[in-house]
């Protein structure tokens, strides 16, 4: 079954608006896990506008002590020196590398892998030395399959933002053609696939029915909005139920 990794960035953003201790990220992670999430995702940014370095350390320690070997910790980010120092310190199960600029509000494109081949090969090798699985954030472009494999990465994460916008216009089936072609090209090289960005309760079923071999979906913004309406427990269970059907 595809694993749900709950992204806690927007929970942290809400907390930071008042610089208070709540909502508590550790408690939200525990609630998500109890409801069926198989992973926790964070994407710390240089300005710490949502996830802070201290959050990454505290979540890593909590997951290792309370859920040893059962719940995956996925840390996303651009491989700057600060980011690499952080992940080398906490040693998450997975590191997802994204090509974000420091001030970027959210991830909105995948890597141009050939252009960044040397950097990605070096970083991937460093992360493997600390025992982390590596995933590269990629667009729906089958031409990136062979370059991705050449970096030594273990997985790619499909950037699904374009699918979200197409789905909202009633054009989801058309948009999924390139995603399916990309997924099949990646899989043919031996790479595993994750997916994330703007997936929600409405568009997730169609995505997974078209591409059923997704290992993990990382969902944050939509799930947090759903949690405001129905509670974190019920929101996570709603997503997990979709994954079970798929």
Supply the DSSP string of 134-178, one letter for each residue. EEEEE-S-GGGHHHHHHTT-SEEEEE-HHHHHHHHTT-HHHHHHH
pLDDT at 168: 97
Q: Of the residues 50, 93, 164, 197, which is catalytic?
A: 197
- Whether the link from the prior residue into 23 is cis, omega within 30° of 0, is yes
Mean pLDDT is lowest, of 19-23, 170-174, 234-238, for: 19-23
Annotated active-site residue 50? The verdict is no
47 touches 13 (CB < 8 A): no
Q: What is the pTM of this model?
A: 0.96
pLDDT at 159: 98
Q: Of the residues 76, 93, 157, 164, which is catalytic?
A: 76
Report the CATH superfamily, name and number, of domain 3-245.
Answer: Aldolase class I (3.20.20.70)
Terminal alpha carbon distance of the chain? 8
Please give the share of the chain, as a percent, with pLDDT higher than 70. 97
Domain layout of the chain by residue ranges = 3-245
Identify the CA nearest to 39 among candidates 63, 20, 61, 65.
Answer: 63
Q: What Cα–Cα distance (Å) separates residue 151 from each residue in 75, 145, 155? A: 19, 10, 11
Annotated active-site residue 197? The verdict is yes
Q: Of the residues 43, 50, 93, 164, which is catalytic?
A: 43
In tens, the pLDDT along 25-35 reads 999 999 999 99
């Amino acid at each position: 079954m595809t694993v749900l990794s709950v992204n806690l960035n927007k929970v942290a953003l809400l907390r930071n608006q008042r610089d208070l201790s709540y909502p508590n990220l550790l408690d939200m992670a525990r609630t998500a896990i109890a409801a069926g999430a198989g992973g926790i995702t964070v994407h710390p940014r240089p300005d710490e506008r949502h996830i802070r370095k201290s959050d990454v350390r505290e979540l890593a320690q909590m997951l290792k002590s309370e859920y040893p070997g059962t719940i995956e910790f996925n840390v996303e980010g651009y491989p700057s020196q600060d980011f690499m120092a952080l992940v080398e310190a906490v040693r998450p199960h997975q590191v997802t590398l994204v090509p974000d600029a420091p001030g970027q509000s959210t991830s909105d494109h995948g890597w141009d892998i050939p252009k960044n081949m040397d950097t990605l090969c070096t970083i991937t090798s460093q992360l493997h030395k600390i025992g982390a699985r590596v995933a590269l954030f990629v667009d729906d472009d089958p031409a990136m399959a062979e370059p991705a494999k050449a970096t030594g990465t273990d997985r790619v994460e499909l950037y699904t933002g374009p699918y979200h916008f197409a789905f909202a216009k009633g054009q989801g089936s058309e948009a999924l053609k390139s995603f399916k072609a990309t997924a099949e090209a990646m899989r043919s090289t031996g790479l595993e696939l994750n997916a994330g960005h703007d997936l929600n309760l409405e568009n997730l079923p169609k995505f997974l029915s078209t591409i059923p071999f997704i290992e993990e979906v990382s969902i944050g913004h939509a799930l947090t909005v759903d949690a405001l309406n129905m509670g974190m427990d019920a929101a996570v269970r709603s997503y997990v139920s979709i994954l079970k059907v798929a």
